[in-house]
Structure 1
C-alpha cells in the first residue's frame, strides 16, 4: 500500500528527526488487544503538540484576546501498515512537510519497538483567528523561523 503523500518512502522516512514516545494503554485496545483505529489520531495530536513545543511554536489559548492566530487541524489522514497491540512502545515522528500562506502540512510516521513502520499520516493545520473563525496568514517572521530550523 502506498500513501499518496509519500513519494520515495526511504527518503521521506529519513527526513524525520523529532519523535515522541507513547505506550499503548489497555483502554486503547479492542477485545483482541489491537490498538483501536481512532487512537492513532490521538498519538498524532500528542506528537504534533510536542513537536511544536520543540520548535518553539506556541500553542496559544483561544480565549486570550491578544492572540491573532491559533493552529486548528483542518484535515487528518492515517494509513495503517502493521498491527499495534497493547503495551507496544510506539515512536511517533512528526515533521513539517510544507508551509503555505496560512497552513502547514504535517507528516507523521509511527514505528514500534522493533523499528517496524506501523502507520503513517498527514494533516493540514490552519492558523485561524479565534474571533472571526477565518484563516490568517503565517507571518514572514514565522516562515523565517521555520526555515532557520531547516524544516521547510
Structure 2
C-alpha cells in the first residue's frame, strides 16, 4: 500500500509561467534530469518576481535566498516538452515566502512534478533577514493558495 500523494491539477495553482525545455535538459536515460526541475522552479518564481518589481537582481537593496527545497516526481518530462509552471504561495512570513510549484508537461492536466522552496528576504550587504515590504506582501498574497 502506498501513501504517496497524488499530483495536483492545474486548477490548484494561482499563477502560470511557460518554459521551453532544452536539448541539454535530457539525461542519458532520455528524460529530463532531476536537477533541471529545481532550475525550472527557480526560473519560474524569480522571473515572476523580476517582472513584478519585487526584486531588482542587479541594484536592489534586498535579495531572496533559497533556504529549503524539495521535489516529488510523478511522470517524465523531456525535451522538446513545453513546461507550464504553476506557482502558489503556501506560506507568507515576515521575511520568508514558501512557494509550491507544479510542472505540467505540454497540455497535461496533472503535474509531472511538484516542488517547494522557501525564500528568505535578506539585505544584500549584511545577508541578514529583512521584512518584506507592504507592496511585496500584497503582490505575494494575490498568488497565495
TM-score computed with the length of structure 1 as normaliser: 0.79
Provide the residue aligned with 2:5 in structure 1: 2
Match of 1:41, SS?
helix
CA contact (8 A) 1:102 1:137 kept: yes
The 4+ residue runs of structure 1 with deviation greater than 6 A are none
- Aligned counterpart for 2:121 among listed residues 122, 127, 135: 127
CA contact (8 A) 1:18 1:51 kept: no
- Aligned counterpart for 2:96 among listed residues 93, 96, 103: 103
Q: Shift of residue 142 of structure 1?
A: 3.2
Q: Shift of residue 114 of structure 1?
A: 4.0
Q: Give the paired residue count.
A: 141
By relative contact order (CA 8 Å, sep 6+), the higher-ranking structure is: 2
Provide the residue aligned with 2:31 in structure 1: 34
User: Could you give the per-residue CA deviations for residues 25-56 of structure 1, whole angstroms, max 9, x where no partner exists?
Assistant: 221111221101100011111110222245x2
Structure 1: unaligned runs, 5 residues or longer:
none
- 1: CA distance between counterparts of 2:33 and 2:89? 26
- 2: CA distance between counterparts of 1:125 and 1:72? 5
Residues 1:106 and 1:150: Cα distance change in structure 2 (over 3 Å)? closer
Provide the residue aligned with 1:75 in structure 2: 68
Q: Report the aligned-residue RMSD.
A: 2.4
Q: Shift of residue 14 of structure 1?
A: 2.4
Mapping for residues 31-70 of structure 1, pairs under 5 Å: 31-54=28-51, 56-61=52-57, 64=59, 67-70=60-63
